[in-house]
Amino acid sequence: MNENNERLSDSQRDKLCDMMYHAFLEIRILGWAGKSEQAADLADAFHDLPKDMWTKKFCLEDYRETFLKAHREKYPDRSNRNYVAMINKIILMGNPDYSAN
């Protein structure tokens, strides 16, 4: 844990911001393609993340299970990014044995 006793490190938050960047790009692409429901579902999976990732109660595992896995299950082959895999890497960053190699 970092010095502010928050659940995420600055490196993890940086990776979450990168993940949000890709999600917003995907939302735009889905909108241009006329896939409004899929775009709305992806926006729904991400809209609380910018605020919640700064709280002490935020848990990457809960976020993955509640939002990202449900989205992946609904759109297994149609998503440009595998956000579950991305969040798994971010979770590993919080492990003291993690090596970025």
Answer whether residue 2 is part of any domain.
no
Rounded CA separation 88/101 (Å): 16
Check residue 3 and give its pLDDT: 41
Q: What is the domain extent for residue 54?
A: 19-93
Rounded CA separation 36/30 (Å): 7
Cut 0.75: pTM above it: yes
Answer whether residue 24 is part of any domain.
yes
Check residue 95 and give its pLDDT: 74
> Residues 8, 17, 40, 84: is their CA dihedral positive or negative?
negative
Q: Residues in the chain with pLDDT < 50?
A: 1-5
Answer whether residue 3 is part of any domain.
no
Q: Tell me which residue has tokens 């940086």.
A: 14
> Are 48 and 32 in contact, with CB atoms under 8 Å apart?
no
Answer whether residue 8 is part of any domain.
no
Answer whether residue 77 is part of any domain.
yes
Answer whether residue 101 is part of any domain.
no
Residues 27-55: pLDDT tens digits?
999 999 999 999 999 999 999 999 999 99
Answer whether residue 79 is part of any domain.
yes
Q: Tell me which residue has tokens 């759109």.
A: 75
Check residue 76 and give its pLDDT: 85
Rounded CA separation 8/55 (Å): 9
Rounded CA separation 13/4 (Å): 14
Which of 61, 66, 57, 53 shows the shortest CA–CA distance to 9? Answer: 53
Number of domains the chain contains: 1
